[in-house]
Amino acid sequence: MSGSGSRIIVALDPPDDVNVVDWCLSIIGETRDLVAGYKIGLPLLVRLDSINELSLLARAMGDGLLRIVDLKLADIGDVMVSSIKPFIHYGFNYFIAHSFIGCRDGLGVLNSFLRENNAWLITVVSMSHRGSVEVMDSIVDRLLEVSVNVGAWGVVAPATRPEIIRFVRKHIGSRARILSPGIGPQGARPGDALMAGADYEIIGRMITRNSGPRHVVKEINKIHESLLGEG
């Protein structure tokens, strides 16, 4: 399966003992023709020497791929906009925010700014860890309503609880993509989320901590193809 047809988004969360930029460039170099995109977040960002290094990473990923920044934003709109401006400047184009902050003066402001800059909003409606059932899952219908009202491009829902993905798909139809983390060390298997209705599986350690990331990506693409009847 080529990169354009792949359902894999690689989470670039580096291990402790590496130069983070070299580590990312190596994984990107090995996998970029085989995946749909990459997600970077705080585990990487807090270890960059300079924010300029972001442009190296975005350029290595290339234009055709999803270049997702995962800060799980949850602030007032103006502050979220100023937090993401540098990432847009350096070439990232998808941004993850929490949906519980709501649209007015919050996600609405963020999404307008993103759309003006050819960038897209992804909201979190449920999470892959068990604590998500304590609050988020009990209001997932309202979090979805916020996400649909603001016009989110995609929503994050957990591969570890496929019933939530099914619920999300039923309620949003084709209005937004579903991106699902939780595969590998968190317990779900490759393909579990896609079979429940997700569009992409966000996969980190299962790929990045393997000595052969390219091989693992190929294997997961094969599993996805056979489950979806593609190929």
Residues designated as active site: 72
Q: What is the DSSP string of 119-175?
A: -EEEEESS-SSGGGGTTGGGGHHHHHHHHHHHT-SEEE--TT-HHHHHHHHHHHTTS
Q: How far is the CB of 116 from ligand BMP (least distance, A)?
A: 25
Q: Which of 200, 213, 228 is nearest to 96 (CA)?
A: 200
Query: Angle formed by the axes of helices 20-31 and 213-228, to 10°?
Result: 40
| Shortest Cβ 185–ligand BMP spacing (Å) | 5
For the segment 69-108, give every residue that binds ligand BMP (CB under 6 A).
Answer: 70
Shortest CB 14 distance to ligand BMP, Å: 11
Q: How far is the CB of 162 from ligand BMP (least distance, A)?
A: 14
For residue 129, which of 154, 100, 96, 160 has the smallest C-alpha distance? 160
Q: Which span (113-121, 137-145, 184-192, 212-220) binds ligand BMP, by CB under 6 A?
A: 184-192
- Residue selected from 202, 216, 217, 220 as contacting ligand BMP according to rule CB under 6 A: 202
- Of positions 127, 168, 178, 194, contacts ligand BMP by CB under 6 A: 127
In the list 47, 59, 177, 205, the residue contacting ligand BMP (rule: CB under 6 A) is 205
Regarding 186 and contact with ligand BMP (CB under 6 A), the answer is yes
CB of 66 closer than 8 Å to CB of 96? no
Contact region with ligand BMP (CB under 6 A), list: 82-90, 97-105, 137-145, 199-207: 199-207
Residues 6+ away with beta carbon under 8 Å from 74:
97, 98, 100, 101
* DSSP string across 97-113: EESTT-IIIIIHHHHHH
Interaction residues for ligand BMP, span 138-167 (CB under 6 A): 156, 158
Assess 201 for contact with ligand BMP (CB under 6 A). Answer: no
Could you say which of 128, 165, 194, 217 contacts ligand BMP (CB under 6 A)?
Answer: 128
181's CB contacts (< 8 A; 6+ apart) are: 11, 128, 156, 158, 159, 201, 202, 203, 204
Given the rule CB under 6 A, which residues bind ligand BMP?
11, 13, 41, 70, 127-128, 156, 158, 181-186, 202-206
